[in-house]
């Protein structure tokens, strides 16, 4: 027996990305569902094995660092793709561009006049207490007024079928290489389906990234020197750093490969001598960038890098200080920020957010901890969270104390009914599993959005945790044009 969509058990109250009711696929997924339904057990099994061996051959891995050893784990991948219609995607990507454009104007304003505060849109203390606000960046003018050039925005579909923004990652978002690899795996595993369905390609990202970075170069040149700055092999995203450098034909460097000369320009150390660097796509955090300015213990950074950047001798993407907008309290103000700078209504809504520094809202949060998700304002990767419905009384009491002690640092959101998509379980069964989506947005002079993004899926039944370090997997994401059917 093959996959039987009539037996697909939709979860009550959750939106499923592919199946609208048992036996019925949504329009963009119809051909896929038919195709998969027509495969025998053995065929499905052999596709699954093909996917696993492709992953191994291509060396797609993520690194888990534990007990002083690097462990490369094969990338967990589900062969049933997640599908979004191109009409929907057009709207969503316009919303993502809008959001990043406004956020960049916000960051630029914060490091200059701070009109957004003077005009009472965002309260001053949000900025004063933000650990990601960098006084060292005040008055700097990055090209095009853009600070966050690469953004990974996490979006989710709630029970109502609508996309919401969950968070903006403006520091060093990762995952785009897996989005690209997922597509290459898919092409090898289900080649036939690509002939039938009009699936938008995703492969232009490295080119778009390269062009965006090149446009930041302080020197007028056809071939600016671009490098990818990695913390090194022990970083969990090292695979991606190497992947992107290779795809762009850029050098992959570590801090010790660079130096700042007496002329306050950045150079890389090559066997032929020093070569000037124009653009640094940095994948290390602000605090480690330059021991002269930030963490003096940092071995990862380059002494003098901030001097070179402030002088405009080198471009940094993302710019230092861009993380100030990557704060969950700021997040709550993004709709207002969009209206303020662009005079437009936000195209993608935020998830309803309660700010604990506000007395009334805090009261509500403390009284409803069992229903809410509480997040610290400046952590990333899902650390330090309280998921109310899955928490114990003891945990809730502990969180209540944390919130009272430092209300600025906490926000709360209603528990979302994260959408699901069919995921292969065992030999021939598809079951719904929860997922999210991380598209990547680029901005310099113009902006760009990936076609779809990285779909992360919680492989465990009922789980909402999609992080790969905690049992999450991923799926290829298809943007399907239903009007331009292939014959």
Partner 1 sequence: MLSKVAERVYWAARYLERIESTARLLTIYDQLLFDMPKQINLGWYNLIVINSLEEDFSERYSVQDERNVVKFLLGDATNPGSVFSSLKAIRENIRTTRDVIPGDTWELVNELSQYVQENLTQGINRSNRHEFLDYIIRSCQQIIGLWQVSMPRDVAWEMLQLGQNLERADMTTRNLDAAVAAIMQLQDDEFAVNSHQIIWGNVLRSVNADQPYRRAMRQSVKDKPVIKFLVSDTQFPRSIAFCLQEMKDAAKALPRSEKIIADVEALNKSVLAVTKNIEVGQAFRDELNELQIAVQHLHFQISTTWFLTDHKQFAVAQ
In whole angstroms, what is the distance from residue 414 CA to residue 369 CA? 10
In whole angstroms, what is the distance from residue 15 CA to residue 160 CA? 7
In whole angstroms, what is the distance from residue 414 CA to residue 226 CA? 43
In whole angstroms, what is the distance from residue 303 CA to residue 295 CA? 11
Interacting span for partner 1 (CB under 8 A) from 162-170, 208-216, 257-265, 444-452: 257-265
CB of 155 to partner 1, least distance (A): 33
Span between the terminal Cα atoms of the chain, in Å: 28
Give, as ranges, the residues between 46 and 65 that touch partner 1 (CB under 8 A).
Answer: 59
Vertex 67 angle, CA 62 and 72, to 5°: 20
- Specify the residue, 267 or 340, whose C-beta has the smaller distance to partner 1: 267
Task: Give per-residue burial for 324-336: e unless 16+ CB within 10 Å, then b.
Answer: bbbbbbbbbbbbe
Contact pick of 73, 269, 404, 427 for partner 1 (by CB under 8 A): 269
- Specify the residue, 269 or 461, whose C-beta has the smaller distance to partner 1: 269
Contact pick of 146, 148, 253, 305 for partner 1 (by CB under 8 A): 253
CB of 177 to partner 1, least distance (A): 14
Site for partner 1 contains 184 (CB under 8 A): no
- Report whether 479 contacts 200 (CB < 8 A): yes
Residue 21: Cβ within 10 Å count: 12
What are the backbone angles phi and psi of residue 380, rounded to the nearest 5°?
-130, 165
- Residue span 210-239 as binding mask against partner 1, x where in contact by CB under 8 A, dash where not: -----------------------x------
Contact pick of 89, 133, 267, 410 for partner 1 (by CB under 8 A): 267
CB of 288 to partner 1, least distance (A): 18
Contact pick of 136, 251, 358, 431 for partner 1 (by CB under 8 A): 251
Site for partner 1 contains 260 (CB under 8 A): no
- Report whether 146 contacts 443 (CB < 8 A): yes
Give, as ranges, the residues between 275 and 314 that touch partner 1 (CB under 8 A).
Answer: 275-276
Interacting span for partner 1 (CB under 8 A) from 167-175, 255-263, 314-322, 427-435: 255-263
Site for partner 1 contains 27 (CB under 8 A): no
* DSSP line for 360-374: HHHHHHHHTTTTEEE
Site for partner 1 contains 91 (CB under 8 A): no
- Specify the residue, 189 or 250, whose C-beta has the smaller distance to partner 1: 250
- Report whether 439 contacts 154 (CB < 8 A): no
CB of 261 to partner 1, least distance (A): 8
In whole angstroms, what is the distance from residue 62 CA to residue 436 CA? 19
Q: Which structure tokens are listed for 403?
A: 């919130």
Which chain residues interact with partner 1 by CB under 8 A? 59, 233, 242, 245-246, 251-254, 256-257, 259, 261, 267-276
């Amino acid at each position: 027996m093959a996959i039987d969509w009539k037996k697909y058990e939709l979860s009550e109250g959750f939106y499923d990305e592919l199946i609208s009711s048992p036996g019925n696929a949504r329009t963009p997924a119809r051909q896929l569902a038919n195709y998969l339904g027509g495969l025998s057990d053995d065929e499905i099994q052999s596709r699954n094995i093909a996917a696993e061996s492709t992953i191994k051959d291509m060396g797609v891995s993520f690194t888990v660092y534990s007990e002083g050893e690097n462990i490369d784990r094969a990338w967990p991948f589900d062969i049933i793709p997640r599908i979004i219609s191109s009409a929907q995607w057009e709207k969503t990507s316009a919303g993502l561009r809008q959001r990043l454009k406004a956020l960049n104007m916000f960051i630029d304003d914060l490091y200059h006049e701070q009109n957004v505060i003077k005009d009472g849109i965002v309260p001053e203390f949000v900025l004063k207490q933000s650990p990601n606000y960098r006084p060292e960046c005040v008055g700097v003018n990055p090209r095009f007024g853009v600070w966050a050039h690469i953004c990974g925005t996490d979006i989710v579909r709630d029970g109502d079928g609508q996309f919401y923004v969950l968070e903006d990652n403006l520091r060093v978002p990762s995952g785009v290489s897996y989005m690209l690899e997922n597509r290459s795996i898919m092409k090898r595993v289900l080649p036939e389906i690509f002939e039938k369905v009009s699936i938008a390609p995703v492969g232009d990202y490295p080119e778009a990234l390269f062009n965006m970075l090149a446009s930041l170069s302080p020197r007028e040149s056809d071939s600016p020197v671009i490098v990818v700055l990695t913390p090194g092999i022990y970083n969990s995203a090292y695979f991606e750093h190497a992947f992107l450098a290779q795809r762009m034909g850029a050098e992959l460097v570590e801090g010790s490969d660079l130096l700042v000369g007496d002329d306050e320009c950045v150079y890389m150390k090559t066997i032929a001598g020093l070569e000037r660097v124009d653009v640094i796509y940095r994948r290390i955090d602000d605090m480690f960038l330059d021991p002269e300015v930030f963490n003096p213990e940092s071995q990862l950074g380059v002494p003098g890098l901030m001097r070179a950047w402030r002088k405009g001798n080198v471009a940094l993407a993302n710019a230092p200080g861009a993380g100030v907008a990557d704060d969950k309290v700021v997040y709550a103000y993004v709709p207002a920020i969009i209206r303020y700078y662009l005079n437009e209504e936000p195209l993608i809504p935020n998830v309803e957010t309660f700010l604990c520094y506000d007395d009334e809202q805090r009261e509500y949060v403390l009284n409803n901890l069992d229903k809410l998700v509480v997040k610290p304002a400046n952590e990333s990767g899902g650390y330090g969270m309280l998921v109310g419905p899955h928490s114990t009384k003891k945990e809730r009491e502990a969180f209540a104390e944390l919130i009272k002690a430092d209300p600025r640092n906490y926000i709360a959101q209603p528990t979302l009914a994260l959408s699901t998509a069919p995921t292969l379980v065992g030999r021939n069964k598809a079951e719904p599993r929860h997922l999210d989506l991380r598209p990547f947005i680029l901005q310099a002079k113009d902006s760009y959005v990936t076609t779809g993004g990285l779909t992360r899926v919680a492989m465990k039944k009922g789980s909402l945790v999609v992080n790969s370090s905690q049992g999450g997997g991923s799926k290829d994401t298809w943007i399907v044009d239903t009007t331009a059917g292939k014959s």
